[in-house]
Amino acid sequence: MQKQQIHFVTGKGGVGKSFFAAALAESLAKMSQYSPQENVTSKTISKPILLAEFNDHSFYREYLGDKPAYFDLAQWTGAECLKEYAIHLLKIESLYKLFFGNPITRALIDVSPGLLELAILGRATSYPRKHGPPLKYTHMVFDAFATGHFLTMLRAPGGLAKIIQFGPMGEQTRSIDQWIRNPEFCHIHLVSLPEEMPATETVELFETIKSEFGITPKVYLNKYLFLKKADLANEPESVKIYFTNLLEQQELAEQIFKDHKIKYVPVPLIPEIETEKLLHEASEYLLKEVL
């Protein structure tokens, strides 16, 4: 297998993270020249891409079904990742049950902010660390948490390494921290909208990630309007007002990125109501213009 890459998709709530993550997964599959085979159940073929969501919502199931054509779909919860890790570490299932059934452990999990997030990162980095069940995907795309919670997650290994200095968990934690700081392996995609508020928040997140983790995230302006004010000259007044307002917000957002010398990739507003068509169009765009 070629080297594995992981991709975190994050951004402010409501900017279209889930949509973008699915489009990215599909375009990565197309890039690896994977094409869905008809009449073959997805269990019998191994797809090169995994799309995993951390948030518990059924966006994908509702719009893509349980088995999307281009990638494997999974939901990674912290609790489940922690269980997998604990069984792997404790080896004995009964000891695991004793451990997790115990009120101290449960309270520990609740009281240790970042422990569940650490477990997720542990699984995400299990392939290069050669630790845990192998996940043989060339690319793993994560529909990750929104801004603040995402930072909490990235900080979890470093934070917990300070508290848990010894034992196998201490070692694991430090190794996870190293891998998420490896720019060859770990890629962060920040999705933003062409509006002032999301742009400002994206700049802040971009700078924090860059300075704290040494990774330069890729920024995308979702729902970008490829229009100019001059294009609207002959349109009816209401159309002119509506689109001029959008274009003014877009200019403002672009200026914010320019002021901070942050490059961004515009992802066009695709005027399509059906999610599946929308995803295909977006993935074609990413394949052609971005990857």
Partner 1 sequence: MIKVAATTKTIICIGTGGVGKTTMAAAMASGLSEHKKVLVLTIDPSLRLAQALGIKPDGEVYKVKNNLYACTLNHAKAFHEFVLKAAKDSASPEQIEKLLQNKLYKQLSTQLSGSQDFSSLFKLNEFVHSKEYDIVILDTPPAQHTWNFLHAPEKIGQLFNEGVAQWFRDPDQKDTGFLKRILNTGTTQVLKVLENLTGSEFVKELGVFFRAIQKWQTPLEKQVWDCHKLLTAKTTEFILVTALDPSRISEALRLSSEIEKQGYNLKSIIINRVPVWIKEEVTAGPVVRYVKYLKALEAKLVGSKSKFGPHLKVYKSHELSHNQLHVENLSDIYHRIELI
Q: Is residue 242 a contact residue for partner 1 (CB under 8 A)? A: yes
Q: Which stretch binds partner 1 (CB under 8 A): 1-9, 106-114, 175-183, 205-213?
A: 106-114
Q: DSSP letter at 268? A: E
Least distance between partner 1 and beta carbon 263 (Å): 23
Least distance between partner 1 and beta carbon 207 (Å): 16
Which H helix or E strand runs over 92? none
Q: Is residue 202 a contact residue for partner 1 (CB under 8 A)? A: no
Q: Which of 57, 56, 160 is nearest to 118 (CA)?
A: 160
Q: Is residue 238 a contact residue for partner 1 (CB under 8 A)? A: yes
Closer CB to partner 1, 66 or 184, in the complex = 66
Least distance between partner 1 and beta carbon 198 (Å): 8
3-class secondary structure, 232: helix
Closer CB to partner 1, 45 or 98, in the complex = 98
What x-and-dash track marks residues 18-47 binding partner 1 by CB under 8 A?
A: xx----------------------------
Judge whether 71 and 29 are in contact, CB under 8 Å: yes
How many residues at the interface with partner 1, by CB under 8 A? 70
- Phi first, then psi, for residue 162 (nearest 5°) are -70, -35
Helices (H), the chain: 17-31, 59-64, 78-90, 93-101, 103-111, 115-124, 126-129, 147-163, 167-180, 196-213, 237-259, 275-289
Least distance between partner 1 and beta carbon 111 (Å): 6
Q: How far apart are CA 137 and CA 4, in angstroms?
A: 7
Q: How far apart are CA 117 and CA 119, in angstroms?
A: 5
Q: Which stretch binds partner 1 (CB under 8 A): 38-46, 64-72, 178-186, 237-245?
A: 237-245
Q: Tokens in use for 227? A: 């229009």
Distance from the first to the final alpha carbon of the chain: 20
Q: Which stretch binds partner 1 (CB under 8 A): 33-41, 93-101, 182-190, 210-218?
A: 93-101
Q: Which of 36, 99, 218, 276 binds partner 1 (CB under 8 A)?
A: 99
Judge whether 13 and 192 are in contact, CB under 8 Å: no
Residue type, 101: G
Q: State the residues that interact with partner 1 by CB under 8 A.
A: 12-15, 18-19, 55-57, 59, 62-63, 89-90, 95, 98-99, 102-108, 110-114, 145-146, 148-149, 152, 159, 162-170, 195-198, 200, 225, 227, 231-232, 234-236, 238-239, 241-243, 245, 248-249, 252, 269, 271-273, 275
